[in-house]
């Protein structure tokens, strides 16, 4: 095995679980997450010679985010409504199972774009500019989606609540 | 603990399933196939260059046009569809007009090589024959001409979901830095697109793509943006009547 391959194996072994975790938060589906993580690693390996000296994980993460969010990069419409979405299922953070259920249920209330921004911003702790770059969005859009997503999750009571909307994104939800 | 901290803690907690061990052998075989596809394109493109030299005595590198800036419309606005034809969205020297060994595939390269007129980038298609992609028969590539005139592929992209000929955008690859070279955002569109636009992430402005029709099939419109535009989003295509055309898969991939 070539030296570069050894390095890739080491990288992939160390990062595959985290990539699957990110993909799971983005999709809410274990099997889709596994497939997305594997595809991201395939593309990372194909580009390994030119990225191995740089931040390979950032590259793999960008590929992963693009893979998942490609599903919502289609024409979509959002319609105003008078109702805010219902609060996610009741939270019981004392119990891990309940907390995980709450998490996925809460993320499922978000539009795909809001979900991607929330995961990249608050799980990966990426700055807004980096989230914008990875998702090919403007920083202003990232701020807006983040604010709206947190408002839906009722996590930021002081955040301004944008015009209530009901998401109807064609071909967006996985 | 704030609610936001709760969310972060919940996201950081391990999921309720054990991550599947990735089959790295499968990963490396599949990734290697992508690499080989790129190498095939390089060798095939090189073969075409040599053939062109023999037949026509022309040199690829000497035919590159002067860069033409992308057309820029109103800042932060969607393009205003009009019945007017787009102005100079196609570089004056977008096609290699040297005598070429017909439009036959030479080891994978199909049809004309397009000189984008932007930073020396060449754009061309290559054949794809992959059992895993039964509805994909070609991909598009950007490459650079070596000092000896032979093109060297830098990025290859192709449709991976469904037919490569369905109406709309396909295989759009975002700008990247590859060994100090900034590649253009590029891809192809199926349909009679006379204008292709996107929103520049850096400025919020609407920018027009350069276009060139593939010599092998006029329904395939290859396009690219100047690399200095930076990353883009919100791809749109317009017909000759100014109406929006189907978007298809207008996501922009990286990597």
Task: Name which of B211, B151, B164, B216 is nearest B190 in CA terms.
Answer: B164
What local confidence, expressed as pLDDT, does residue A164 receive? 30
Q: Is B161 helix (H, G, I), strand (E, B) or coil?
A: coil
Highest mean pLDDT among A77-81, A105-109, A138-142, B220-224: B220-224
Q: Residue B37 has what pLDDT?
A: 62
**Predicted local confidence at residue B236, as pLDDT:** 95
Q: How far lies B170's CA from each of A87, A159, B3, in Å?
A: 38, 39, 41
Show which of residues 83-102 on chain B sit within 8 Å of chain A, judged by CB atoms.
none
B194-205 average pLDDT score: 90
- Sign of torsion over alpha carbons B240, B246, B252, B253: negative
Higher pLDDT, B41 or A30: A30
Q: Determine, for residues A62 and B31 on separate chains, whether the beta-carbon distance falls below 8 Å.
A: no
Query: Tell me: the pLDDT tens digits for B19-76?
Result: 888 888 888 888 887 766 655 544 444 444 333 332 222 222 223 333 333 332 222 3
The answer to whether the beta carbons of residues A153 and B10 sit under 8 Å apart is no
- Measured between alpha carbons, how far is B127 from B116 in angstroms, rounded to an integer? 20
**Cβ of residue B17 closer than 8 Å to a chain A Cβ:** yes
Residues A54-92: tens digit of each pLDDT: 788 888 988 888 777 765 443 333 333 333 334 444 444
Supply the ipTM of this predicted assembly: 0.71
Asked if A73 and B16 come within 8 Å (Cβ–Cβ), the reply is no
Q: Which residues pair with B153 in a beta bridge?
A: B143
Nearest chain B Cα distance for residue A72, angstroms:
8
Nearest by CB: A138 against B4, B12, B201: B201
User: Are A42 and B30 inside 8 Å of each other by CB?
Assistant: yes
Other CB atoms within a 10 A radius of the CB of residue B116 amount to 27
Contact B15 A102 (CB under 8 A): no
Which domains does chain A possess? 3-70 (no CATH), 78-168 (1.10.10.10)
Q: What is the pLDDT of residues A19-29, one digit of tens each?
A: 999 999 998 88
Residues 32-61 of B with CB under 8 A from A: 32, 34-35, 38
In chain A, residues with a C-beta closer than 8 Å to the C-beta of B24 are 9, 12-13, 41
Q: Residues of A with CB below 8 A from B231's CB? A: 133, 136
Is A73's CB within 8 Å of B250's CB? yes
DSSP state of A100: H
How many A-B residue pairs are in contact by the CB < 8 A criterion?
A: 134
Mean pLDDT of B201-221: 91
Q: How far A129 CA lies from chain B's nearest CA (Å)?
A: 10
Distance from CA of B35 to the nearest CA of A (A): 5
Asked if B199 contacts A132 with a C-beta cutoff of 8 angstroms, the reply is no
- State yes or no: pLDDT of B107 exceeds 70: no
Distance from CA of A138 to the nearest CA of B (A): 5
Quick one: pLDDT at residue B60?
A: 27
Look at residue B148 in the predicted model and tell me its pLDDT: 61
Distance of CA A35 to the CA centre of its chain: 15
- Mean pLDDT in chain A? 73
For chain A, state the CA radius of gyration.
17
Confidence (pLDDT) at B184:
92
């Amino acid at each position: 095995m070539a030296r570069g391959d050894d390095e890739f194996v080491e990288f992939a072994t160390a990062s595959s679980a985290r990539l699957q975790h990110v993909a799971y938060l983005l999709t809410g589906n274990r099997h889709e997450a596994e497939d997305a993580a594997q595809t991201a690693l395939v593309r990372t390996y194909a580009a390994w010679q030119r990225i191995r000296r740089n931040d390979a994980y950032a590259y793999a993460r960008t590929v992963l985010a693009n893979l998942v969010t490609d599903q919502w990069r289609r024409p979509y419409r959002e319609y105003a409504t008078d109702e805010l979405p219902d609060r996610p299922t009741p939270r019981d953070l004392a119990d891990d199972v309940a907390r995980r259920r709450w998490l996925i249920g809460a993320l499922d209330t978000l539009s795909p774009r809001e979900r991607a921004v929330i995961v990249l911003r608050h799980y990966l702790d990426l700055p807004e500019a980096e989230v914008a770059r990875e998702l090919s969005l403007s920083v202003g859009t990232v701020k807006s989606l983040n604010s709206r997503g947190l408002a839906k999750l009722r996590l930021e009571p002081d955040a301004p609540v944008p015009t209530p909307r009901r998401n109807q994104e064609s071909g967006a939800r996985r | 603990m704030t609610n936001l901290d709760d969310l972060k803690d919940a996201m950081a907690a391990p999921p309720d399933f054990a991550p599947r061990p990735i089959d790295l052998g499968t990963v490396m075989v599949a990734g290697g196939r992508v690499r080989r596809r790129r190498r095939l394109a390089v060798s095939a493109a090189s073969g075409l260059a040599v053939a062109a030299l023999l037949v026509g005595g022309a040199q690829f590198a000497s035919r590159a046009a002067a860069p033409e800036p992308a057309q820029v419309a109103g800042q932060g606005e969607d393009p205003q569809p009009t019945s007017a034809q787009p102005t100079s969205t196609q570089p004056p020297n977008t096609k290699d007009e040297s005598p070429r060994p017909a439009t036959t595939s030479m080891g994978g390269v199909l049809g004309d090589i397009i000189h984008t007129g932007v930073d020396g980038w060449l754009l061309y298609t290559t054949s794809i024959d992959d059992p895993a992609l039964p509805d994909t028969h070609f991909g598009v590539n950007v490459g650079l001409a070596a000092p000896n005139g032979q093109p060297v592929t830098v990025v290859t992209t192709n449709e991976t979901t469904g037919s490569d000929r369905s109406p709309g955008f396909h295989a759009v690859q975002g700008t990247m830095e590859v060994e100090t070279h900034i590649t253009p955002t590029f891809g192809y569109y199926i349909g009679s697109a006379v204008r292709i636009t996107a929103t520049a992430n850096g400025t919020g402005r609407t920018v027009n793509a350069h276009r060139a029709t593939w010599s092998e099939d006029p329904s395939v419109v290859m396009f690219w943006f100047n690399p200095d535009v930076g990353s883009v989003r919100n791809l749109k295509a317009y017909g000759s009547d100014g109406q929006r055309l189907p978007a298809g898969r207008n996501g922009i991939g990286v990597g």
